[in-house]
Structure 1
Amino acid sequence: MFKVKPSNLFIMRVSLIFVALFVWPVLTVSGTSLEKGVRQQMRCKGSSPTLSVRSSPGTEFEEIAKISTTNGIIVGDFVDGWYRVSVSTSVEGWVSGRDIDGCDSGNLVFMGKTENEMRDELAAAGYPFAGTASPDEILRVYSSTAVDVDNTNSKHVRYSPGTMSLFTRWASQVSPDNSLPDYPRPQLVRSQWLNLNGMWGFQRASAGENPPFNKTLSSNILVPFPPESALSGVMSHIDRAWYRREVEIPSVWNGQRIILHFGAVDWEATIYINGHHVGTNQGGYNPFSFDITDFLHYSGVQEIVVGVFDPTDSGEQARGKQVHNPIDIWYTASTGIWQTVWLEPVPVTRVDYLRIVPDVARGGVMLETSVVGDLSSVIAHLKVRSKGKLVSSYSVPVNQNYFVPIRNPVLWSPDNPHLYDVEINIVSNGTVVDKVTSYFGLRTISISHVGNVPRIHLNGRPFFHIGVLDQGYWPDGLYTAPTDEALVYDLDMVKHFGYNLVRKHMKIEPQRWYYWADRKGVLVWQDMPMGNNWSDWGKQRYKAELQQMISNLYNHPSVVTWVLFNERWGEFDVSEITEYTKSLDPFRLVVGATGYADKGVGDIVSYHSYNQIHFPEVSNGEARILAEWGGLGLPVDGHLWTEDDLRWGEPSYVQPVTDTNDFVEWYRKYVDQIGLLKQHIGLSGAIYSQITDVERESTGLITYDREIVKVDPRLMRSIHSFLR
C-alpha cells in the first residue's frame, strides 16, 4: 500500500482559506496547563485506553473520552475533578509510562507535560526526588497533589474551533454570528422566524440529574455543531448533556403562537421553557417542534433548557454508522443538537403540513393542505408559478386531497430539474390568516419491462441510474456541514463527475440538502439509518423513525427510492417492513434489503460487488441495481483524517491504487464490466462507492476536506457516459 502525495495526482484545488484559530482558555493544574482543543500525545499500547474523571477521591470514575491508540486525545471540556487514564488490559491507575500499564513511556505526554518536565517541576516544588524519580513515583505524587482542576477559566464565553489537522475551506466562515443562518424548511416557508443557532451554555449531565435552571453552565458550544466536532468548540464525546440559552421574543410576534423547532437532535431531547417541562422527542434524524406559547413569560428574557441523551452504538435506536470507538467503516458519533434550532410565530389557524403528489397522467398534482385551528369558513387560495409565470390559480377546500391542473406541464428530471413555486393563502371569513410558500416537481418513477427485462423508468422512459454513495460526513462538523455552500459543493461535484444520483447512506440530511438536490437535479436513494433492532421496542422505534423520514421527505422530487436495510445490518421482518413502506408511500420505489440479503420483495434487487463486478442470478420481476461498487483506495498526504494511522477502509473490499493513472485504469475496467451487465441482464443502475473520503476510508473521488479532487471529473464523465 502507498501513501500518495498530491504531486502524483490530478489536482483540482479551490483557493484554500486557512482557518484562523484562537487560543482556548487555559485550565490550570498546579502549574501544568491543559489547553482545550490541543492534542495530548498519549500513545497507549493497551486495549481501549480511556480518560476518566471523578469529582473527588473515593467516588466512581466516569469515562469522558476514548484515546486513539495512535493519535492521542483531543482535550475537550474538562471539569473540576481527578483524572485517570486506564487501559482494559492493565490494572486501573494513573498511566505510569511503563509498557506493562499499556503506554509507551517514550511517547507519553501527560496533561501537557513530558515526564522529565513533570519530574523537574515537582523537584523544584520541594518533593524529595534524587533526580531520577521513576514515572510511577512521579505520577503517584502528581496524582495525589496536582490534578485537582480549577476550571474557572473554562466559563469564558469565547468561541474557537478545536485544533485539528483537517478542516474544510468553509470552516473559516463559521462563527457565533454566522452559524448556518439559512432558512431551514424550504418546503414550507413563512416570512418571520428567529434563528437560535450560535453560542449556548453547555455541560455534561448525569442520568436523573435536575435541569440547570437559571444557572450558568460550565462551558459553551456553538449550535448546531455536535460536541464531538471541532466546529462545536467542545471536541468531546458526551452521552448526556445540558444545553441552555436565553432569548427574547420579538414584540411584533405578540398575539401569535410561538413554535420552537429543532431540525434534529441525536437521539433523545427533553425541552424545558422557563423551568417547565414542554416535551420529549426520540429520534436522531427527523425534525420536531413544540408550541411553547403557554410556557412563556409575558415579556423579557425566556430560558430554554434542552437535555440530550444519545447511547450511540450501545443502544438499539437508529444511529447509522456512528460508534463510540471509530474504526474502518464506522465513524465518530454526533451527539445532541446537530441541525438548526429556530423559533417561528404562527397564527392560531394555520397550515400545518402540505402533501404534494405528482399526477403526470392528468397533467397536475394532488395537493392536500393540512390546516389546524378554527376551520369554520376556511378555504385555501393557491397560486402556482413556473419561472415567475402564473400557470394555475384555484381555491380549494382544506384538509382534503384536491387535484390542481397545470397548464403545459414540464417534467422534472436530472437533465431539466424544473420546479414549480406554489403560494398558499389560508382565508377565513374573507381575511388572509396565514400565508406559506412551497415548491414541487412533476415526475414519475416506476418499473416497466423492456422486452422481458424489468427496468427503472423515469417519466415513462428507461433511465439508467449512474450514481455515487454519499455518507454525509465532514471533518470539521461531522454530521453537520459547516455552511450551506458546502452542501451545494458536494452536489455540484456529483453533477461534474457525470452522475445523476446519490445514494444517501445510513444518514438523513437536513431539509436544505434535499432542497438543493431538487434544484440541481440529483436523484436520491435514501437509506433508513440502521439500528440494532434486537427487541420489540427497537423494532417499533425503527418503524416510527421510518415513518417520520418518509413524511419529512415526501414532497421532494429528487427522492425516488427508499432503502430499508443494508447488508443485513439490523435487519428484521423485511417483507413486512417493505409492505409497510409501500403503504406509506406508493409512489416511490422500495429496496427491502440491499447488498447480499435480497428477500425477493420490493421493486429492486440490489447487489454490492467490489474487486470483481458481477451480479447473481435472479428470477423475480425486480429491476437490478449494483448499489455499491468500486472502492478504489487512493489516500492523499496532507488530507487524511489521521496521518499516522493510514487506513483504507475495510480491507475485504478496497482495491488500493497507486496514483491517478492506476485509478482510471481500474475504474475503466469496472465500468466496462458494468456495461456488459447492462447489455446482458438489463442492469438499471450502478452506484460507485464513494464521493468523498470519510475518516479512515480513502475510497473517495475527493479528499475528506474537499480540497483535492483525485481524478479529472471530465475524464470520469467520459468513461461512464455510454451507460446513460
Structure 2
Amino acid sequence: MDGPAKGPDAINALPQLPLAKEVRIPSCIESGISGIMTMGVTHMWFGTTFTIPPHWKDGRRVLLNFEAVDYEATVYVNGANVGFNRGGFSHFTLDITKHVVPNKINQLHVFVFDPTDDQSIPQGKQTKRLSHIFYTPCTGIWQTVWLETVPKNYVTGLDLSADMNGIVTGIVYSHNNSSTPIEISVTNSKGDIVAIHRHVSDQLFKFTVASPQLWSPESPTLYNIAVTMGSDRVESYTGFRTISTGVVNGVKRPLLNGKFVFLFGPLDQGYWPDGIYTPPTYEAMIYDLQVIKRLGMNLVRKHIKVEPALFYHACDVLGLLVMQDMPSMRVYTNARPTNSEQAEFERQLEVMVNQHKNYPSIFTWVIYNEGWGQITDYHPEFHLTDRIRQLDPTRLINSVTGWHDHGAGDYHDNHHYAEPQCGTPFHSLPSTPYDPKRIGFQGEFGGIGHRPADANLWPIPDAVNTINQTYELHGTIESYHYRAHVLLELLRQQVEQYACSGAVYTQTTDVEGEVNGLLTYDRRVLRINETQWKEDIKALYAAAKKRAS
C-alpha cells in the first residue's frame, strides 16, 4: 500500500512497485490484521504482482474478482485501466484477458477512495468521528481477491429460487447474452441426482423436483446445483422453502413453508477488535453464529452491513434466518441526502438484493434503519419496496425499522429500549402505533450492559469513556442477569397477549464502547446466563405457538 495519496489527482500517476507499506489482503487498513493500522486515509494505492500459467490464455478469458472494496476502486493491470466499482459492500468481476501476459510478472494497481461519513454514502456504522454507537471505519480491500480462467462464453451469473412445492425457478446468464444450451442438475445430500433440466441461457427456466425436503431453521436441508454450458460448469446450491405472510388466528404473521414462524435473534453488527469489518478467520466468524444457534434462536439481523459470502453460506448450513439491512447513508451532519446521493443509495440497494437473493437463509430485506439517510419530505420507501418486490418476490420487506414509518412494507417495526413494545396497544415516540395490517415486530430492544474486565474491553480511551451511554448499565452481573430475564419475560407476555411475531435483541457482541453484547468484544466471555436464556427463549416459542393455535 502507498498512502495517503495526495488527493484524487494521484490517480493520474501509477506508483512504482513495490509500494511503501506491506499490507495483508483482505483487511481494513485501520485494523490490526492489516499490519499497518492506518487511520484517516481517504485516497490510497494498493499494488502487487502476479503470474498466470500459459494455458490460461489458450482461447480462454482471465477474470479478476473482488469480493468487496470500500469505497471506490479503480483497477489497473500492467498500466491499463481495466475497471471501476463504487460501493463498499458489492463484489465485482473484471475481464483482464487483453492485459495479462503468460509466464511473465504482471502488475496490479488499485486506487481506492473512501470518504466514509464525510459524504452521504452507504457506510453503515462507520465514522471518522467516533462516538458510542458509531465505530472505527473500514477502508480498502476488506474482502477476498482472486483470479480465475473461464471459456470465451461462460456463465456470468445465476438467479435461483426453490419453493416448498419443489418448483425451481431462475435464469442462467451467459457472457454472450445469447440462448446457449444449458443443463441443470439437482443433487440431494446423499449424492443422488433428483432432477435434470435442459434449457437455454438468458431465459427464465422453471422445473419441479418431486417431494423435496424443505429448508427451515429446524432442518436446514440444502441441495447441490450444477449448471453446464458448453465447456463451462458452475456449482451452487439451494434450499426449498417458501416465505410469505398470512392471517393466523386473527393476527398478521410471517410464514415459512406455510406455517407461522416466530422470529427471535440478536442484532448482529459484524465488528471485530482485530479485523474491524473483516473476521480474522472463518472459524471466528461462524463461532458467533454457532452461539446464536446454541441458545435456541432462529434469526440474525445483519445490521447495516453486508457480510462476505461465507457468512450467508454458514447461515444456510446452520439454519439461521437472516434479516438483511441495507447499509445506511449517514453523513456526519445527518443532512438530507441530495437527489444524486439518493439515486446512488437506490442503485446500491438493488445491487445488494441482486447479489444476495440466492441465499435460502435471507428472509427479509430492510431498507431504512431509524431514519438514517431516510428522506422524509416525501416517502421513497414506498417505491423502493415496490422495486425490491420486482427484483425478488420471494421474500418479505421491512421498509422502515424504528421510526419514520408511513405504512410501507410487510412489517410494523418498533424500536424501544430496554423494554419491548411488540405488537402492543401502547407505544412510545418516535415509534408509531401498531398497525394490524402488517406484522408486529420488535426490531430492537434490550441493550442492557455490564462493564467487562479491562482485559476484555476495547482498549481505546475514547470508547471506554462512552460506556456510561449504554441504554441501561448494570453495576453487578447478578443485576444484569435479573434484568435480562425480566425483559425476555415481558416479551413473552406480549407474544402471548398481543400481536408480536418476533423480536431482535441488542446485540450479539460488545462493539468498541458498547458493552451490551451476549459476548464481549473479544468473544472470550459469554456474558449471559446461558441456562436461563435457553429457558426464556423456549418460553417465547411456546407462547407464540399457543397464541397462534
TM-score of the pair, normalised by structure 2:
0.91
The Cα offsets for residues 573-600 of structure 1, whole Å up to 9 and x where unpaired, read as 2222222222221211111111122211
What amino acid is the match of 1:365? V
Q: Which residue of 1 aligns with 2:225?
A: 422
- List aligned pairs for 1:332-347, cutoff 5 A: 332-347=136-151
The structure-2 alpha-carbon separation of the partners of 1:292 and 1:564, relative to structure 1 and needing over 3 Å to count, comes to same
Aligned with 1:546: secondary structure? helix
* Separation in structure 2 between the aligned mates of residue 447 and residue 326 of structure 1, nearest angstrom: 40
| Equivalent residue number for residue 167 of structure 1 | none
Structure 1 residues 310-352: Cα deviation after superposition (integer angstroms, max 9, x where no partner): 0000011110010012110000010111000111111111111
- Aligned residue for 1:667? 484
CA distance in 2, matches of 1:220, 1:537: 36
SS at match of 2:107: strand
Aligned to 2:250: 452
**1:249 and 2:52 equivalent?**
yes
Q: Does the residue aligned with 1:605 lie in a helix, a strand or coil? A: strand
Q: Deviations over 1:427-455 (max 9, x none)?
A: 3xxxxx10111000011111110132101
CA separation of 1:653 and 1:478: change in aligned 2, threshold 3 A: closer
CA offset digits 1:395-438 (Å, max 9, x no partner): 222222222211221110011000000111113xxxxx101110
Instruction: Name the structure 2 match of 1:601.
Output: 408
**Could you tell me which residue of structure 2 aligns to residue 325 of structure 1?**
129
Larger radius of gyration: 1
In structure 1, what is the Cα distance between the partners aligned to 2:300 and 2:466?
A: 20
For residues 556-584 of structure 1, the C-alpha deviation after alignment (integer angstroms, 9 at most, x for no partner) is 01001011111111002222222222222
Offset from partner CA, 1:599-639 (integer Å, 9 cap, x none): 11100011111133324332441001101111111121110
Q: Which runs of 5+ in 2 are unaligned?
A: 331-335, 428-432, 542-549
Alignment of 1:612-691 (within 5 A): 612-615=419-422, 616=427, 617-637=433-453, 638-642=455-459, 644=461, 647=464, 654-691=471-508
> Match of 2:508, SS?
coil
Counterpart of 1:311 (choices 111, 115, 118) is 115
For the 8 Å contact 1:610–1:653, the answer to whether it is kept is no
Aligned residue pairs, count: 517
Q: Which amino acid in structure 1 is aligned with residue 114 of structure 2?
A: D
On the 8 A contact 1:648/1:699 being kept in 2, the answer is no
Q: Say if 2:481 and 2:529, in contact at 8 Å, map to a contact too.
A: no
Could you say which residue in structure 2 is the equivalent of 1:480?
Answer: 278
| Alignment partner of 1:202 is 2:18 | no
User: What does 1:267-666 align with in structure 2 at a 5 Å threshold?
Assistant: 267-361=71-165, 363-373=166-176, 375=178, 378-387=180-189, 388-427=191-230, 433-532=231-330, 534-572=337-375, 573-615=380-422, 616=427, 617-637=433-453, 638-642=455-459, 644=461, 647=464, 654-666=471-483
Report if the CA contact (8 A) 1:211-1:242 is conserved: no
RMSD: 1.7
Q: Any idea what SS the aligned residue of 1:492 has?
A: helix
CA distance in structure 2 between the partners assigned to 1:402 and 1:593 by the alignment: 33
Give the TM-score of the pair, scaled to structure 1: 0.69
Q: What secondary structure, in the 3-state scheme, does the structure 2 residue paired with 1:335 have?
A: coil
Task: Specify the SS of the correspondent of 1:448.
Answer: strand
Separation in structure 2 between the aligned mates of residue 312 and residue 556 of structure 1, nearest angstrom: 28
Cα pair 2:52 2:101 within 8 Å, conserved: no
- Distance, in Å, in 2 between the alignment partners of 1:289 and 1:541 is 20
- Are the counterparts in 1 of residues 17 and 48 from structure 2 also a CA contact under 8 Å? no
Aligned partners of 1:226 and 1:232 also within 8 Å: yes
User: Equivalent residue of 1:596, what SS?
Assistant: coil
Whether the 8 Å contact between 2:326 and 2:367 is mirrored in structure 1 is yes
Residue in structure 2 matched with residue 218 of structure 1 by the alignment:
20
Q: State the shift of 1:713 in Å.
A: 2.7
AA matched with 1:504: K
Q: 1:466 Cα shift?
A: 0.9
C-alpha change, 1:560 and 1:603, in structure 2 (3 Å) is: same
1:698 is matched with 515
Q: Following the alignment from structure 2 to structure 1, what is the Cα–Cα distance between the partners of residues 470 and 37?
A: 31
Listed as ranges, the gaps of 5+ residues in structure 1 are 1-200, 428-432
Q: Given residue 567 of structure 1, which amino acid in structure 2 is its aligned partner?
A: E
| Pairwise CA distance, 1:374 | 8.0
Aligned equivalents of 1:648, 1:414: Cα separation in 2: 40
Helix, strand or coil at the partner of 1:552 = helix
CA shift in 2, pair 1:610/1:648, >3 Å: farther
Q: CA deviation at 1:714?
A: 3.3
Q: CA deviation at 1:305?
A: 0.3
**Equivalent AA in structure 1 for residue 502 of structure 2:** G
One-letter code aligned to 1:633: G
CA distance in 2, matches of 1:211, 1:490: 43
Task: Give identity over the alignment, percent.
Answer: 35
